[in-house]
Structure 1
Amino acid sequence: MAKTTKILSGEDYLDQFDSKAYAGAFFSEIEIEGFSFTEFRLKTLHKIYSKGNIKGKLLLEIGSGPCIHTVIPAASWFDEIIMTDFSPSNRDMQEKWLKKDPGAHNWDKFFKYYSKLDGNEDNWQQLEAVLRPKIKRVLTCDVFKQNPLDPIQLDPVDVICTSACLESACPDKDAYHNAMKNVVSLLKPGGKLILIGILNCPHYVVGSEIFQCLSISRDEVINTVKANGLDVIELFDDDTPVEEGTTIFNGTVIILAEKKITHVGVQSL
């Protein structure tokens, strides 16, 4: 009888997610033939932040994984950056990079790439020097909690970025909607959400393990954002399909959205 491969999810991220294998598989290179997802993500994030309109006191990254590449172009625009993740392995990798631990993933290529987009490739280490002290905390995050950062209470934040997190965490579309609601609750009215969504991906491989992913369409992602009190400002699409072993998806959407400001009417006497 053929062995049935277990699909991991949920609580399995606590003790079976190999952050080093994940970073090595997906974020060792940028320009990979037939795999434009990483390059598309970097170029789009650079385009969003380089305008100088997305800025503030605090940037909160929800579900950072073991990665820092999504906050590199934001470093100059915020006083503080907080990284979060559910997996202890991912948070440990974050801390290792912050402490310059030899076991940390090497992000030099990403700093160089962003610096090249800035027209300043030779000074990429300056960008790294700006980012590291801006990351003040690495926190535990659970998007299924009403306050995903519980027991930490933050004042409503200026900007939230989340990348391939909700679809990795959620077993179904109702859970996806509720997780989005919880994340958006941390955002101040008028604050911005930057969401990077992986489309129609049923599962993905990390090392020798397969993790569940919610297969969700572009329109479903957009509609969930709108249903949770945000206006879409900009949409960026990459419809390049990827099929590598059991990691399959057929595109990426990046959404820049703004949380609606609700005006309370004043009753005249």
Structure 2
Amino acid sequence: MDPSTYKRYHIHGHDSRQFLEHYFSDKPDMAFGEDALKFPIKNLTKAFASGHIKGDILLDFSHGSVIHHLYSACEFFKDIIVLKIKDRCILELKRWTDKRTGAFHWGHVAKLHEDIEGKSHQVEDKEAKMRSAMQHVVKCDLEKENMTEPIVLPPADCIISAWQLDAICKDQDDYIRYLRKFSRLLKPGGHFILIGCLGVTYVTVGEDKLHGLSYDEDFARKALEGEGFIIDECKVQKRTSVSDLTDYKAVIFIVAHKEKEL
């Protein structure tokens, strides 16, 4: 397929449930458990356990309806505000927070977090803490100056963006432009956690192939540093999955903090 025909997530959307089933479920044939679940969760658990990343407000601007990366954060922030581009993703998350019939099952992720943290038999408690922290799911428009208009968000202590920049950016200039927008929502000294895929050009969801922005570790580092961030940690894991659903080469995890104004 010609890459120019790939769909764009923020324009065309995708089936949010199929996306979760393909890349984040506990199904036996789900090939991305190590790269999409274990790698980010291990690094997030370590990052938050350091005690440096905490506060009142965490903003999450991540792809689709994923929330597994937030389980580590719910212990360290009073409020988690989730920003979503598509109504379908908002409905998917509301179904889970309200414990509605047919909600996506995240129990395997809660258990994985507890196993990594060494707190067995507390899965239900972990789920309850997540639901309590994640009370706000807000629609956003990427092209507005205030993406959440008419809502004005308070400055965040931390922002997490997982796989979103990979999906919405058509080129590297776009990446820097959106990164700059996210940065404006962060307090000076606040932390930015970036999770993404290196070398990706497409992601398959159902019968649709969606565009992915291909970049490398050097670009991601320079993009953050160019926007006034100091990188605290950068981890890259080469791809372990065997699947033709997507063509990424590696997964990247970066923790950075925004320089304080003088």
Q: TM-score, normalised by structure 1?
A: 0.90
Instruction: Check the 8 A contact 1:161/1:194 in 2, yes or no.
Output: yes
Q: Is the deviation greater in 94-103 or in 149-158?
A: 149-158
Q: Which residue of 2 aligns with 1:23?
A: 20
* Structure 2 unmatched runs, 5+: none
Task: Give the distance between the partners of 1:238 and 1:92, measured in 2 at CA.
Answer: 32
* 1:1-269 equivalences in 2 (<5 Å): 6-9=5-8, 10-13=10-13, 17-29=14-26, 36-37=34-35, 38-240=37-239, 242=241, 244-263=243-262
The amino acid across from 2:247 in the alignment is: I
Q: Which residue of 2 aligns with 1:266?
A: none
What SS does structure 1 have at the residue aligned with 2:135?
Answer: strand
What SS does structure 2 have at the residue aligned with 1:8?
Answer: coil
The amino acid across from 1:24 in the alignment is: E
Deviation at 1:36, TM superposition (A): 2.3
* Structure 1 unmatched runs, 5+: 264-269
Deviation at 1:229, TM superposition (A): 1.1
Runs of 4+ in 1 over 6 A off after TM superposition: 2-5, 30-34
Q: TM-score, normalised by structure 2?
A: 0.92
Q: How many residues align?
A: 259
After superposition, the Cα gap between the structure-2 partners of 1:241 and 1:156, relative to the gap in structure 1 and judged at 3 Å, is same
CA-atom RMSD in angstroms? 2.2
Instruction: Check the 8 A contact 2:229/2:258 in 1, yes or no.
Output: yes
Q: Which has the higher contact order (CA 8 A, sep 6+)?
A: 2
Task: Give the distance between the partners of 1:69 and 1:246, measured in 2 at CA.
Answer: 20
Task: Give the distance between the partners of 1:204 and 1:122, measured in 2 at CA.
Answer: 35
**Sequence identity (%):** 27
The amino acid across from 1:29 in the alignment is: D
Instruction: Check the 8 A contact 1:64/1:83 in 2, yes or no.
Output: no
What SS does structure 2 have at the residue aligned with 1:257?
Answer: strand
